[in-house]
Amino acid sequence: MLHRLGLPRSVRIRPGGGPLIGLEVAAEDSETDFWGYTAADLQDNIEIENGVISGDLNYIADYSAAGFDPADGNFLALKVGSSEDVEDATYVCTIIDGNGTERSVTLDETGQIVIQIKDKDTQKIRFTATKAGYNTDVVTLSLTGLNCEAAPAAEEEA
């Protein structure tokens, strides 16, 4: 189930005269599989409150998933949807790097996304929900509440 973002509705409503889509973002269910890893393998205690994502991200070595070349690091699994049961809305996730570079992806019908977190202190994630006849709903989330597990220390050869 998707949870409220902890933002007052007035912050999320965009002028335009149509109803609100009710964009909701939540941590993915712990048992959901993402190309060989469950959400529980990737993360723990993920919460979204007052525009900040918090919780613990595990370090994953050589993660190969759709959209990723094999990579090492921390990955965040989220699910996006509508609190108002709006069908056929389009959801776009934009990852904003610390230097302002933006990379966007349109989510499929599952609303699931796995994002590699490279710098929790400077990256942000923006979600946009659109549908004809509805107000566009936009939410930008900070990652500063995340604890990212470090890479294990390399073992020295004897």
The reply to whether 50 falls in a domain is yes
CATH number of the domain at 26, please: 2.60.40
Which amino acid, 100?
G
Q: Is residue 112 part of a domain?
A: yes
Residue 106 falls within a domain, yes or no?
A: yes
Answer whether residue 140 is part of any domain: yes
Query: In the prediction, which pLDDT does 67 show?
Result: 62
What is the rounded distance in angstroms from the CA atom of residue 91 to the CA atom of residue 84?
14
pLDDT digits (tens, 9 = 90+) for 98-136: 888 999 999 999 999 999 999 999 999 999 999 999 999
In a domain, 117, yes or no: yes
Domain count for the chain, please give it: 1
Dump pLDDT digits (tens) for 21-59.
999 999 988 788 887 888 899 999 999 999 999 999 999
Task: Write out the residue range of the structural domain in which residue 107 sits.
Answer: 9-146
Residue 2 lies in a domain: no
Q: Is the pLDDT of residue 92 over 80?
A: yes
> Model-level pTM greater than 0.85?
no
Asked if the structure places residue 154 within a domain, the reply is: no
